[in-house]
Structure 1
Amino acid sequence: MARFFFITLAMICVLGANGFFTQKSTWERMQASLEAQTNRRKSEEINPVLDMFDRIPLYDAKQSSTYKDGVASRAIDGNRDGQYHSGLSCTHTDDNEDNVSWEAKMKSGSAQVAYVVISNRLDGYYNRINGVKVFVDDQFCGAVEYLMGVENYAVKCPPNTVGSVVRITGRNQVPLTLCEVRVLGNDSVCKCNSDE
């Protein structure tokens, strides 16, 4: 009986040392879930602010390369489904590419841009969005900081940012996957002569 006890105790120690019985993995999962819920709430809180702006229509989307059927136009199709394979609404550039980019023109020609909102992929590879930079023409608006559980990232542009092209650049050697890109601001920018 004592031998059985010591063998059982030894097995428990070995399994415990390998993390089999740890509460840490459960605790980490709970914390990750809580963090995702908190980040999702933060993401939803900005929606009323975004509703104050016009959505500026985009067209003529292009990207630096295309992986399989992840064409550039998917980011402006009005479908924010973050499921790359089943939703058929996300772009995808090639793997192992430097100078990764995506861009589209504003239908109004020129617009004052307040925010660029990017919908992220939801079926895996979520953190590829981290570090993505947003530009309006050559004006830098900001970069995305990946947060677990966040589906939409609103990048705020500096005041009085006016341009005709929104451009998003990714990190080298990391595919750029965008499930929707929305530009918010005021598309009725005055194109007046200073003499008038």
Structure 2
Amino acid sequence: MIVTIDGVAASGKSSVSAGVAQALGVPYVSSGLLYRAVTLLGLEAGAALHEPAALLDCLQANPPRLEALASGNRVWLGQRDLTPDLHSTRVDRGVSVVAALPEVRAWVDAQLRTLPAPLVAEGRDMGTNVFPHAQAKFYLTASPRVRAQRRAYERPEDVAAIEAALTERDRLDTVQSAPAADAHVIDTSELSLQGVIDAVLARLPAR
């Protein structure tokens, strides 16, 4: 079985996906980490993030590898663990630009489709584009203020500034991020993490 969990930035996709995957005993896949890895490598190479050819050159020279486990995802570049650097502010600022490039999206999608089922996949368009045949699809949302408050727990930044950045990220991600027609939409604003996980598990087809 493939379960897709899409949603807006900071809606809890990664935490929910990890919890659902652990409950099912299967790996979860964080597509966003690959986009962040491409962004980081582009920044480190001094490439223009809006130029797909420059980014693809970086990927062909040194392709990052996603390690998808139920306990968490990591991205490797050879023996270097890129994961600790993928949630920096500079990557946050550039990842929407990178993720909007069709050439980069095609590269990421190809990496994801090589992963064997069963799995839980989270991102922006897992249910609409990458795994349209998934047996269960979900889309998470929450108000920008709630999402900003959650992210403020993770990094020492002002809530208002984070909210403004998330609102802009929502605008940039509009093309990629939309619920699949057959997805269950869950507003996580008033739910705990476990509450969202339980809501997803309750809506899965009989296993």
TM-score (normalised: structure 1): 0.24
Whose RCO is larger (CA < 8 A, sep 6+)? 2
Structure with a larger share of its residues in strand:
1
Structure with a larger share of its residues in helix:
2
